[in-house]
Structure 1
Amino acid sequence: MDCYIYFKAGTALEEKVIAAEKSLQQLVLARLGIRGKLQRRPESANDLHTWMEVYANVPGDFSALLEKLVQQTGLAELQYSERRTEYFLDVDVCA
């Protein structure tokens, strides 16, 4: 199962968001053994960037584990919107 999390943050906070995300990604890798990926929409709207965290092959309790790590990084204080989490499963269409 793959996890996709998106949120908005002010464009003026971009460097702080990147620093907090770097800390988060390092914690996730060290504690959970999962390498995440950070993306951002190329355009901003109303002085807000939309950010996306992507994590592949996560366990069922990943959200709870990740939330504890997010609180350690200060990322939650930088966000304009709440974090939206969605999960997707791979579907083998060649079987």
Structure 2
Amino acid sequence: MTDLYIYYRVPAGQAGALASKVRAMQAALGGGQLKRRPGEKDGLQTWMEVYASVTDDFPARLDRAAEEAGLQQHIDGLRHTEVFTDFN
């Protein structure tokens, strides 16, 4: 199975607006987790979206959903995706 971990930096002043958009996007996609590193550095928070056991078409669906939700306007820099698979 494949799990996705997407991390990015969020200006503290954008946190509220972004959280509601991410949660709505995740609900439309059928789930996911939203996490954040404790504290801030230089006014930025580090956030992570987690999607466990996704299908092969999910990354493309997620990219489209993030674009449609307008997430990038609330993020400092890019969203970075890490892919992990089960260890056999």
Q: Name 2:71's counterpart in structure 1.
A: 75
List aligned pairs for 1:1-80, cutoff 5 A: 1-29=2-30, 35-80=31-76
Task: Give the Cα–Cα distance (whole angstroms) in 2 for the partners of residues 58 and 81 of structure 1.
Answer: 25
Task: Find runs of 4+ consecutive structure 1 residues off by over 2 angstroms.
Answer: none
Cα-Cα RMSD: 1.1
Structure whose alpha-carbon radius of gyration is higher: 1
Residue 16 (structure 1) shift:
0.6
Higher fraction of strand: 2
Count residues in correspondence: 87
Residue 59 (structure 1) shift:
1.7
Percent of paired sites with the same residue: 34
Q: Which moved more, 1:46-55 or 1:17-26?
A: 17-26
Residue 61 (structure 1) shift:
2.9
Instruction: Return 5+ residue gaps in structure 1 as ranges.
Output: 30-34
Q: Name 1:32's counterpart in structure 2.
A: none
Q: Secondary structure at the match of 2:76?
A: coil
Q: Secondary structure at the match of 1:44?
A: coil
Instruction: Return 5+ residue gaps in structure 2 as ranges.
Output: none
TM-score (structure 2 length as normaliser): 0.91
Which of 59, 72, 81 does residue 85 from structure 1 map onto? 81
Q: Secondary structure at the match of 2:17?
A: helix
TM-score (structure 1 length as normaliser): 0.85
Q: Write the letter of the residue equivalent to 1:79.
A: I
